[in-house]
Amino acid sequence: MKAQVNGTSRDLADGTSVAAVVTLVGAPEKGVAVALDGAVVPRALWDRTIVPDGGVVEVLTAVQGG
């Protein structure tokens, strides 16, 4: 199945979790948050939240700014 991960279309195995996507993009251990289809997925739910076909995942962290 396909999902949009940080703006890029990716082929993901069925049943891929949000936690797996976070690992896939190489996110740091701390200071990271995830939105799935426009809603925040709390860290405690990353393991059991499955990315649906056509899902839009954003993995964000803090950078220099403002």
Partner 1 sequence: MDDPLIIAGREFRSRLITGTGGAANLSVLERALVASGTELTTVAMRRVDAAGQTGVLELLRRLGIEVLPNTAGCRTSAEAVLTAQLAREALETNWVKLEVVHDEETLLPDPVELLDAAERLVNDGFVVLPYTNDDPVLALKLQDIGCATVMPLGSPIGTGLGIRNPHNIELITSRASVPVVLDAGIGTASDAALAMELGCSAVLLATAVTRAQDPERMGAAMRCAVEGGRLARLAGRIPQRFWAQASSPGL
Residues in contact with partner 1 by the rule CB under 8 A: 6-7, 25-28, 30-35, 38-40, 42-43, 58-66
Instruction: Report yes or no: 59 and 11 within 8 Å, Cβ to Cβ.
Output: no
Kindly tell me which of 15 and 66 has the beta carbon lying closer to partner 1.
66
CB 9, CB 2: distance < 8 Å: yes
- Main-chain dihedrals φ then ψ at residue 29, nearest 5 degrees: -65, -45
Minimum distance from residue 6 beta carbon to partner 1 (Å) = 4
Asked if residue 53 lies in contact with residue 16, where contact means CB atoms within 8 angstroms, the answer is: no
Task: Work out how close the CB of 64 gets to partner 1 at its nearest, in angstroms, rounded to a whole number.
Answer: 4
β-partners of residue 9 are 4
Between 14 and 38, name the residue whose CB sits nearer to partner 1.
38
Q: How far is the CB of 17 from partner 1 (least distance, A)?
A: 16
